[in-house]
Homo-oligomer: A and B are copies of this chain.
Amino acid sequence: MEITTTSFKHCDMLVLKGRIDSSTAPQFEQAVKAITDQSRFKIVMDISGVDFMSSAGLRVLVNTQKTCKRYNRGEVVLAKIPANIQSALELSGFIPLFKVFDDQIAAVGNF
């Protein structure tokens, strides 16, 4: 998988591409940690380029959301969810846990 991180004034954005499974999820977790370690907890994840996400990836999503929402200090929002991953999020009951935006700019502009 490929991860690009961009830092904005009020939030950080991760653009994720490729396959997130048990082998690559640690890389995803690292990229998130690099942001939260700076005490930045407003994160946009653009997952439009993710073609596969197993529960290992979903775990990172929900754990990051827990970290970010703690003390009301931030939030993870998702941008551009592919259909298959939308189904996985639904089956996991994760839809209510994340705000979803149609594009990066709406997601970034929400912070």
Of A5-13, A24-32, A55-63, A87-95, the segment with at least 4 beta carbons within 8 Å of chain B is A5-13
Contact of A10 among B6, B10, B106 (CB under 8 A): B10
Please measure, in the bound complex, the distance between the C-alpha atom of A108 and the C-alpha atom of B13, giving whole angstroms: 13
Verify if A104 is at the interface (C-beta below 8 Å from B).
Answer: yes
Verify if A110 is at the interface (C-beta below 8 Å from B).
Answer: yes
Q: Which of the four size classes fits the interface of chain A?
A: 10 to 19
Give the distance to chain B from A10, nearest Cβ to Cβ, in Å.
6
Please measure, in the bound complex, the distance between the C-alpha atom of A49 and the C-alpha atom of B104, giving whole angstroms: 20
Q: Which of A1-43 contact B (CB under 8 A)?
A: 6, 8-11, 13
Residues of A bordering B, CB below 8 Å: 6, 8-11, 13, 104-106, 108-111
